[in-house]
Amino acid sequence: MSFRIAVSGAAADAVRRTVPTLVADRVASGITAQDPALWGRAAEEESAKRLGWTEAVAISRALVPEIVALRDELRAAGVDHIVLAGMGGSSLAPEVITRTVGAELTVLDSTEPGQVRAALADRLASSALVVSSKSGSTVETDSQRRVYEQAFREAGIDPVGRIVVVTDPGSPLDESARAAGYRVFNADPNVGGRYSALTAFGLVPSGLAGVDIAEILDEAEAIELPLAIDAEENPGLILGAAIAATSPRRDKLAIVADGTHIVGFADWAEQLIAESTGKEGTGILPVVLDTAAPELSARLSDVQVVRLVADAGDDVFAGDDGEIRVSGTLGAQLLVWEYATAVAGRLLGINPFDQPDVESAKIAARGLLDARPEPAPAAFVADGIEVRGTPEVIGAASDLASAIEVLLEELPADGYLSVQAYVDRVAHPELAELRDLLAARAGRPVTFGWGPRFLHSTGQFHKGGPAVGVFLQLTQRPADDLAIPERPFTFGELIAAQASGDASVLADHGRPVLTLTLTDPAAQLAGLRDAIG
């Protein structure tokens, strides 16, 4: 089989108790038939226009020859470097697809000026830019498109031959791109961004980068029938029950790559699950871990571990460690996890297709860009690091170490710490090492997200999920800012507004926030390590 799953402990109990009911209620065939009533009356209107992903394999087949032809056309013109401007689901699916098969794709999912500048400086003469935005109004991708258009023109290159657009039909981007003469691929408008891996959003950048996208669709097609059948062996029902129906609910899902050939899958699954389930005060919090993460040895009672392994075996009920093990081809994994997340939404009693709290941070950022207030003064500066935060954190802090200590003291017994790094992730990947240090210190699950891309995924959970999170923002004062053509703000001002806007929304929701603004991330990492202890 192209997908295998094994469950034990509380997860196995959840499967045995819940899957027969899901089968009797014909949930699997209902999802496949795009029945919007499965998630309740309140979710019906949104669900009715968000279930197109169940037929993405069939619909996307027609795109394959078009994408391959464009790839060949670009390569014949000497264009062999693909850059993707996209956020959330628009970038995470192509990232995992290309990394898994070893195809080169530069993913530009940041507004940090250094990261944008580095992408522009990388083989511009042989580059093409894929601009992916479902709504067509995403500020990050609009800004990236503008700066690439300018760079192409300044290099004597016609942007019309170098920019490819993926968007919903009739979006503002669809209309402006066609008017400009760009090549446009329309995606199915009945698919939400986080469920779009097997649509044009996942396939266009991946195919242009050299991936055999027909094979990805073949892999997904091989699991379609098992997912559609109302049977206790259905892998989507089993996985959905295992992650959402444990009793008491283990609402932190530790996702560990442990032998799988798929690279970066946990990051894609994180945005799918967090944005789909984190609302109305409930949800499943995905926590991306490596095999040596402190959370795994802590055996926390509210953490369910799922391991992505090479072979989960033939027996569904296997093992005695309480973990979930899954294996399979990439295409199959993508589709199974989408089904499982939809099933989890039904079990949680929420709508897995909306994101009611994502817009609040965008509104706050836009307000800051319009008003341009002076930055709030730092509570204090320690070793060149500016320290700000909500009153309950800053009021009792006198230095960097005590600020971190006070933030961790705000963690409830069932809480989590979210580290949000609005920093150049290409230049400073070492900042992610702080996650394990903080997890060991806190004794609780710790998530790590690069800003602003997490705002389009896990940001929903932070505001809409259980109110048990505390938040550590790491921001970077740019050494060299970058203008956005025909916009009254720069990339540096944009990312600063995104960080400040999200911090203000979190504070309005009563979440403790500590913001550390770095002037030299590489040099200040040692001081951060010491402060964590």
* Calpha distance 487→146 (Å, rounded): 9
Beta-strand runs (E) in 86-190: 106-108, 127-132, 163-167, 183-186
Q: 472-529: per-residue pLDDT in tens?
A: 999 999 989 999 999 999 999 999 999 999 999 999 999 999 999 999 999 999 999 9
Q: 347-372: per-residue pLDDT in tens?
A: 999 999 999 988 888 888 888 888 88
CA angle 168, 497, 476 (to 5 degrees): 110
* Helical packing angle, 235-244 and 9-24, nearest 10°: 120
Residue 80 in 3-state DSSP? Answer: coil
Question: What does pTM read for this prediction?
Answer: 0.97
Mean pLDDT calculated for residue range 54-66: 98
Mean pLDDT calculated for residue range 36-58: 97
* Calpha distance 417→324 (Å, rounded): 23
Give the neighbor-by-neighbor strand order of the sheet with 127-132. Answer: 106-108, 81-85, 127-132, 163-167, 183-186
Residues 502 and 364 sit within 8 Å (Cβ to Cβ): yes
Phi, psi at 23, each rounded to 5°: -65, -45
Closest Cα to residue 287, out of 306, 309, 313?
306
* Calpha distance 275→271 (Å, rounded): 6
* Calpha distance 530→533 (Å, rounded): 5
- pLDDT higher than 80, residue 153: yes
The pLDDT, as a whole number, for residue 1 is 62
Beta-strand runs (E) in 282-384: 285-289, 303-308, 324-328, 380-382
